[in-house]
């Protein structure tokens, strides 16, 4: 796809995602305990996740005929293809169910194995972050860039606490120990998609987490890259989409953060 084609596709997808966000916002506080399922250890799901996903799949499928889907809730068969939407209909479900204000829709598009489009819609603040390959990154129509911090001591970091996979706990705690001492602080919002979007617009200087899935990071990673940031796995390689670990940071602090994480893990 050409850059103009990707831009038009992104803007049309934005409208779909805002519409689904309106549905999610209308369900805040309305999900009873009897309608919540624990699909895995500490991993919750409700009809809101599934309905939002069904809406996204139906409309994005019509927007891009012939495309396939990789989705968290598997309301459609997950299939690999040349044009593949990667969707988390509600990143931060636990926050949503507890009425904590940080959860988002995350939609990425892979074309022939390459991320080319990313959209993260933070539902509570109604902030729409988006990017397409070669077009830069935007928040509600305004260009965004990663921060200009050049040292760890001037950086605010974000992470996600392990909640089901504790095999990397020792390395994780080692990294936290360094970052607690040497940075301005660490935040844990509960939505990797939002963390990545906040790196892209400079609210965070870096973000790292392990045991993530493609739908958690696909959109945000592309937005960070188009905003001038660097994205990698914990070894500095490119296997962050399917490798289960991601580091995203501005260029000024990336190497410092990577050094701490590489040594810790």
Over residues 197-219, the pLDDT tens digits come to 999 999 999 999 999 999 999 99
Number of domains in the chain: 2
Q: What is the pLDDT of residues 27-66, one digit of tens each?
A: 999 887 778 777 665 566 789 999 999 999 999 999 999 9
Same domain? For 33 and 136 the reply is yes
CATH label of the domain that carries residue 248: 3.40.190.80
Provide the greatest CA pair distance for the chain.
51
The dihedral sign for the CA sequence 90, 61, 197, 125: negative
CATH label of the domain that carries residue 12: 3.30.540.10
Same domain? For 117 and 168 the reply is no
Q: What is the pLDDT of residues 97-135, one digit of tens each?
A: 999 999 999 999 999 999 999 999 999 999 999 999 999
Given 143, 178, 204, the domain boundary residue is: 143
Same domain? For 37 and 64 the reply is yes
- The span from the CA of 124 to the CA of 100, in Å, is 9
Q: What is the mean pLDDT of the chain?
A: 95
Asked if the model's pLDDT at residue 12 lies above 90, the reply is: yes
**pLDDT in the model for residue 30:** 86
Asked if the model's pLDDT at residue 165 lies above 60, the reply is: yes
Same domain? For 109 and 192 the reply is no
Whole-structure pTM value:
0.95
- The span from the CA of 121 to the CA of 91, in Å, is 10
Given 143, 161, 190, the domain boundary residue is: 143
E strand map for 96-196: 104-111, 114-122, 127-132, 137-139, 142-143, 156-159, 185-187
Same domain? For 132 and 159 the reply is no
Same domain? For 101 and 201 the reply is no
Query: What 3-state class would DSSP assign to 235?
Result: coil
Same domain? For 7 and 135 the reply is yes
Same domain? For 56 and 185 the reply is no
Same domain? For 124 and 20 the reply is yes
Same domain? For 133 and 170 the reply is no
**pLDDT in the model for residue 44:** 66
Same domain? For 132 and 203 the reply is no
Given 119, 143, 167, the domain boundary residue is: 143
- The span from the CA of 45 to the CA of 39, in Å, is 7
- The span from the CA of 28 to the CA of 202, in Å, is 28
**pLDDT in the model for residue 39:** 65
- The span from the CA of 36 to the CA of 14, in Å, is 28
Which residues constitute the domain of residue 214?
152-264
Same domain? For 130 and 13 the reply is yes
- The span from the CA of 110 to the CA of 115, in Å, is 4
């Amino acid at each position: 796809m050409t850059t103009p084609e990707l831009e038009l596709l992104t803007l049309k997808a934005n409208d779909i995602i805002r519409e689904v966000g309106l549905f999610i916002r209308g369900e805040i506080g309305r999900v009873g305990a009897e309608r919540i399922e624990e699909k895995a250890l500490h991993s919750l799901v409700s009809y809101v996740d599934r309905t939002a996903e069904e809406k996204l799949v139906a409309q994005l499928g019509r927007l891009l005929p012939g495309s396939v889907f990789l989705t968290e809730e598997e309301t459609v068969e997950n299939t690999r293809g040349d044009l593949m939407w990667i969707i988390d209909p509600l990143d931060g479900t636990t926050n949503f169910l507890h009425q904590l204000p940080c959860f988002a829709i995350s939609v990425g598009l892979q074309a022939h194995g390459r991320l080319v489009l990313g959209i993260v819609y933070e539902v509570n603040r109604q902030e729409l972050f988006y990017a397409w390959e070669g077009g830069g990154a935007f928040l509600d129509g305004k260009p965004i860039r990663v921060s200009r911090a050049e040292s760890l001591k001037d950086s605010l970091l974000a992470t996600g606490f392990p909640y089901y996979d504790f095999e990397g706990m020792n390395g994780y705690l080692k990294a936290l120990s360094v970052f607690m001492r040497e940075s301005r602080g660490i935040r844990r919002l509960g939505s990797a998609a939002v963390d990545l979007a906040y790196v892209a617009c400079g609210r965070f200087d870096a973000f790292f987490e392990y045991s993530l899935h493609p739908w958690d990071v696909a959109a945000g990673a592309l937005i960070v890259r188009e905003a001038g940031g660097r994205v990698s796995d914990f070894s500095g390689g490119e296997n962050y989409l399917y490798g289960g670990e991601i580091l995203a940071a501005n260029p000024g602090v990336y190497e410092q953060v990577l050094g701490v994480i590489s040594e810790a893990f």
